[in-house]
Structure 1
């Protein structure tokens, strides 16, 4: 019979051997593979499998044509390629009531074949083309869009405060479906701008592309909210998307280089400072992580935060830069001639850089 002391001796020897092996292994790991790399490696692997890869560049070129900096003026005149130079912001809202069918039709008549418009949801869930939360700016009506049904919108004249209101009296808010049908029929391409971080818009956009499959080669979906782009592209990776960016978007209502930030979005102090943190993280992550994770093809940059260096950095990432909103002729000339960028504008008056159209990239 084996004495009890022999069992204890064997147990202690085995424990000592296992501990020596374990600590030796950990020593090798710490020496040749710093443990601090483990979280980074895990995040990298997860990001690779969870990301939404962007569509092929050939699909982007079907919609927007080649990037302006890749095509010289002589080539442009000779080949007459489709080149997206000018995008009518809200259908050039200074020339006709913004986000209206009549404004989009007027753009087509004047030769502007790229339209940016905004999408929001009514109380009864109808997607309509409208920008603001209320109708105060365009119609002296303080009611909120989300509080009205689509039927109730028919009483609102969005030309009421327009400079040419007599010419456009009785202009109504169109549905998303009616807008897309008209733009496709007129051969116009579009930027569909989602105004809120509302996940109800995800199935709306995905169903829209199923209803109108030609949108894959004729539309870019854009918003300020990367989470919405990610949700849309995870369901349908073939949708070409962009992200709009300006400084202090989440914390303040507006921004201008000359006047600084506008009013706070939140009255609560803690919410405001939390939004400031979100702005800081977002500005850092967008060009380094976010743009690759959500599969951006285009970046819409606020006019007061662009420079030749910033434009080059985005192009080096394989992402097409566009600038918004440019209304002065001298600024249009700089963006187009110097930065070789497309710009969004509220007016086509005096426009001398319209989009060229040909079947090559259609």
Structure 2
């Protein structure tokens, strides 16, 4: 639950901002009270802490190591082969990207296009699942000879493999909030074990809120990288125009404040998936006081893994379980 100090800070900031904009104490009080009422009426409570811990740490507890996109360095990302390799290499769980074919079949795919990972080309949204099945999901992978002919799996196929291998699943939903919530709700109904072995994550707050509306018993997380609107992961500006860059930087600040003081409580999340460069002991404690666990991404060197495993003791997501690999933003 949000701490009292946070409540006071949030509503005080809203009151002052509205007061500066309107110069009206009455309107400032009305709008601040409206925010309080909105949160009270429409927010979702967090799932029980014991079940969130079960999902995030398993029955044995300790730090959970999660294979990013199934472990995209060790096998073709978002494939059954990747899931099996991750299990063989000691992963506790896998992060899998949910997307949809043109005929609305839920599948595993990170990009909106096929070019980067397969021998196909063009927008995913224009390809029926029957066409996707003809593609080689290993075509662009560094180990393509070993995994040649690997198929793009359905969400159902991937889930069944993870359940068989007793892997925790981090469902990373790329968009399509209504379709994703409906598809995942059916999966949880068909496989109740997922309530204790999976978590739904997204950069998009609407996805998580819609998921909680569809099934409030599902464990959820928000994913975030500060400055993501104005800069790429390596720090370079997204926009050549100085005015657009500064405007998006301002939007980044607003988004940050929303995540830390409003959105997490509205959705009732159990975890916060954050880019590794922004994680510290203080950061972990900040969220722990709110009943929210930190999961760091993407941790790709032994030094980093030791730091998160031994010092911070927080779950982390990695591209490889077996060797150091390039940074991933």
Q: TM-score scaled to structure 1, two decimals?
A: 0.77
Displacement of 1:109 after TM fit? 2.1
Q: Which runs of 5+ in 2 are unaligned?
A: 1-24, 325-329
Once the two structures are overlaid, the 10-residue window that deviates more, 314-323 or 271-280, is: 271-280
Residues 28-43 of structure 1: pairs in structure 2 closer than 5 A: 35=26, 36-43=28-35
Displacement of 1:64 after TM fit? 1.8
After superposition, the Cα gap between the structure-2 partners of 1:250 and 1:202, relative to the gap in structure 1 and judged at 3 Å, is farther
Hey, what does 1:49 align to over in structure 2?
Answer: 41
Hey, what does 2:317 align to over in structure 1?
Answer: 344
**Secondary structure of 2:60 counterpart:** coil
Hey, what does 1:11 align to over in structure 2?
Answer: none
The CA RMSD over aligned residues, in Å, is 2.3
1:328 matched to 2:306: no
- Contact 1:255–1:262 under 8 Å retained in 2: no
Greater radius of gyration (CA):
1
After superposition, the Cα gap between the structure-2 partners of 1:268 and 1:165, relative to the gap in structure 1 and judged at 3 Å, is same
Q: TM-score scaled to structure 2, two decimals?
A: 0.84
For residues 278 and 156 of structure 1, the distance between their equivalents in structure 2, rounded to whole angstroms, comes to 39
1:136 matched to 2:115: yes
Higher RCO (CA 8 Å, separation ≥ 6 residues): 1
For residues 181 and 269 of structure 1, the distance between their equivalents in structure 2, rounded to whole angstroms, comes to 49
**Secondary structure of 1:137 counterpart:** coil
1:261 matched to 2:261: no
Q: Which runs of 5+ in 1 are unaligned?
A: 1-33, 67-79, 352-362
For residues 124 and 274 of structure 1, the distance between their equivalents in structure 2, rounded to whole angstroms, comes to 38
Hey, what does 1:14 align to over in structure 2?
Answer: none
Residues 63-212 of structure 1: pairs in structure 2 closer than 5 A: 63-65=55-57, 81-139=60-118, 141-212=120-191
Once the two structures are overlaid, the 10-residue window that deviates more, 136-145 or 293-302, is: 136-145
**Secondary structure of 1:296 counterpart:** coil
- Contact 2:70–2:77 under 8 Å retained in 1: yes
For residues 84 and 92 of structure 1, the distance between their equivalents in structure 2, rounded to whole angstroms, comes to 17
Matched pairs, number: 299
Hey, what does 1:303 align to over in structure 2?
Answer: 276
